């Protein structure tokens, strides 16, 4: 009689996952990790391996088991560990494992314990940052071309409650809409729970060109921790508004009549030149124009006079002259009854103003001058022509008699 038999080794468990580290934010779906084990054997003559879960550390849950893992085989994901995300904090501990060698399918021998294992567990659950940003529009009001305007700050708060473990709030600022608005700054390493930053995020206004501008400040904010990808946070855009005015600019224009008008800025001259005594009065009609493109300050003013040598009309107080609008009917006349040189200064005492409360004084002088001379001093052109014709006629007669 021939007797044969096989001798089997007990299962030989090898733990391939010595430790698990998980991270999440409060309220996230629970992150999980697999525990991998191998029934290590040089050949097929090894019993199967059963693995059961023991105690699981607080803050974690586990699931699964391994049944009759054959010799040389690996189970990569039959046993799972998950991190609970209901409470913020740092959690550590172990997952206990019980190893059993089973004869099922091989020796049919009774199960035998072949030891135990332990997987180190580490988990961190963060309370996410909560961005609180004031949505009140930023209005720079009415300013002027060339003004240096202070930047406006945007205040941001991490409104999350302080817990055992918190994300910080990070982010930066940009703008959209009118190119006259720019923004700069960021929150650096971040705001902790309950912290506010009202200095780092700024909006600036470029005042080089007059206009009425609107736009928006846009914040790119995220919740950040050291273990996870940043979590983008939604925020509302902050409306931006500004009006950049040109200053009011009073300018005299000669509309019709006599004389020559010259000058610019704060000084003008109306020169009637020399006029023959008792000739018709020299008269000029002027217009005072707020010579500027809008948007611009309004112009108001009144006139004062140093002497009363010229006849004036229309030089009355006015208000509300907008860009391109004018005060018409300013008439100046020079009487020719008396000989002499005459001059008079008309002073415009004006103000540029706008709805912001700005009121800037502007003083513009208009010098009016002219001379009244005797008739012989300046012969009329027609008289000169007649004299010339008479002399030419006498010369012709003399030549005829000589002939």
In contact, 161 and 180? CB cutoff 8 Å: no
Residues 223 and 317 in one domain: no
Q: What distance in Å separates the CA atoms of residue 353 and residue 299, rounded to the nearest whole number?
A: 7
Residues ≥6 apart with Cβ < 8 Å to 165: 88, 89, 90, 124, 125, 126, 127, 225
Poorest-pLDDT segment among 26-35, 92-101, 307-316: 307-316
Q: Is 390 inside a domain boundary?
A: no
Residues 82 and 139 in one domain: no
Domain with 110 in it: 13-126
Return the closest-CA partner of residue 52 out of 108, 107, 117. 117
Total residues belonging to the chain:
403
Confidence at 382, pLDDT banded by 50, 70, 90: very low
What is the DSSP track for 114-160? EEEEEEEEEEEEEBPP-EEE----EEEEEEETT--PPPEE--EEE-P
**Greatest CA separation for the chain:** 187
Q: Is 283 inside a domain boundary?
A: yes
CB atoms within 10 A of CB 351: 17
Q: What distance in Å separates the CA atoms of residue 276 and residue 348, rounded to the nearest whole number?
A: 30
Q: Is 8 inside a domain boundary?
A: no
CATH number at residue 113: 2.60.40.3450
Q: Over the stretch 262-275, which tens digit does the pLDDT of each residue have?
A: 999 999 999 999 99
Residues 138 and 234 in one domain: yes
Single pTM value for the model: 0.78
CATH number at residue 147: 2.60.40.10
Last residue of a domain, one of 222, 245, 268: 245
| Residue the block writes with tokens 């004031």 | 134
Strand, helix or coil for residue 297: coil
Confidence at 400, pLDDT banded by 50, 70, 90: very low
For 58, counting Cβ atoms within 10 Å of its Cβ (0-12 exposed, 13-18 middle, 19+ buried), the class is: exposed
CA 112 to chain centroid, in Å, comes to 73
What are the Cα distances from residue 357, in Å, to 142, 328, 332? 9, 27, 35
φ/ψ of 285, rounded to 5, equals -110, 125
Residues 198 and 307 in one domain: no
φ/ψ of 152, rounded to 5, equals -105, 135
Q: Is 394 inside a domain boundary?
A: no
Residues 186 and 260 in one domain: no
Residues 94 and 155 in one domain: no
φ/ψ of 268, rounded to 5, equals -130, 155
Q: Is 395 inside a domain boundary?
A: no
Q: What distance in Å separates the CA atoms of residue 219 and residue 240, rounded to the nearest whole number?
A: 13
Q: What distance in Å separates the CA atoms of residue 222 and residue 237, rounded to the nearest whole number?
A: 15
Last residue of a domain, one of 104, 126, 148: 126
Q: Over the stretch 15-42, which tens digit does the pLDDT of each residue have?
A: 999 999 999 999 999 999 999 999 998 8
Residues 166 and 255 in one domain: no
Residues 232 and 258 in one domain: no
Poorest-pLDDT segment among 6-10, 59-63, 128-132, 184-188: 6-10
Q: Is 393 inside a domain boundary?
A: no
Residues 198 and 268 in one domain: no
- pLDDT exceeds cutoff 50 at 380: no
Last residue of a domain, one of 126, 143, 165: 126
For 330, counting Cβ atoms within 10 Å of its Cβ (0-12 exposed, 13-18 middle, 19+ buried), the class is: buried
Specify the number of domains making up the chain: 3
Q: Is 161 inside a domain boundary?
A: yes
Residues 24 and 87 in one domain: yes
Residues 300 and 366 in one domain: yes
Q: DSSP letter at 314? A: S
Q: Which pLDDT value is given to residue 386?
A: 44
What are the Cα distances from residue 48, in Å, to 10, 14, 40, 54? 8, 13, 10, 19
Residues β-bridged to residue 25: 126
């Amino acid at each position: 009689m021939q007797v044969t038999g096989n001798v089997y080794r007990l299962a030989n468990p090898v733990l391939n996952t010595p430790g698990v580290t998980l991270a999440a934010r409060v309220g996230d779906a629970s992150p999980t990790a697999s525990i991998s084990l191998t029934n290590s054997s040089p050949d097929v003559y090894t019993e199967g391996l059963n693995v059961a879960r023991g105690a699981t550390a607080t803050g974690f849950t586990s699931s699964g088991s391994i049944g009759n893992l054959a010799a040389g085989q690996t189970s990569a994901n039959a046993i799972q560990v998950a991190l609970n995300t209901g409470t913020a904090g740092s959690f550590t501990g172990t997952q206990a494992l019980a190893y059993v060698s089973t004869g099922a399918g091989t020796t049919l021998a009774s199960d035998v314990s072949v030891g135990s294992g332990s997987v180190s567990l580490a988990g961190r659950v963060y309370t996410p940052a909560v961005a609180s940003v004031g949505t009140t529009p930023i209005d720079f009001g009415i300013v002027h071309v060339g003004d240096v305007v202070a930047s406006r700050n945007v205040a941001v708060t991490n409104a999350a409650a302080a817990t055992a473990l918190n994300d910080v709030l990070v982010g930066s600022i940009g703008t959209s809409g009118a190119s006259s608005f720019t923004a700069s700054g960021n929150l650096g390493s971040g705001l902790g729970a309950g912290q506010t930053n009202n200095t780092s995020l700024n909006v600036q206004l470029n005042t080089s060109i007059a206009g009425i501008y609107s736009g928006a400040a846009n914040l790119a904010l995220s919740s950040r921790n050291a273990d996870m990808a940043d979590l983008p946070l939604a925020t509302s855009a902050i409306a931006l508004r500004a009006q950049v005015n040109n200053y009011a600019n009073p300018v005299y224009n000669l509309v019709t009549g006599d004389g020559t008008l010259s000058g610019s800025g704060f000084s003008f001259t109306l020169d009637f030149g020399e006029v023959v005594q008792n000739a018709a009065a020299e008269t000029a009609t002027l217009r005072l124009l707020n010579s500027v493109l809008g948007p611009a300050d309004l112009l108001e003013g009144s006139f004062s006079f140093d002497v009363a040598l010229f006849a004036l009309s229309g030089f009355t107080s006015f208000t509300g002259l907008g860009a391109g609008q004018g005060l018409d009917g300013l008439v100046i006349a020079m009487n020719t009854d008396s000989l002499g040189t005459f001059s008079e200064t008309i002073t415009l005492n004006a103000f540029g103003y706008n709805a912001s409360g700005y009121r800037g004084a502007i003083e513009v002088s208009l010098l009016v001058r002219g001379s009244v001379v005797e008739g012989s001093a300046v012969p009329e052109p027609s008289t000169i022509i007649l004299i010339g014709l008479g002399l030419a006629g006498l010369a012709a007669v003399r030549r005829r008699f000589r002939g």
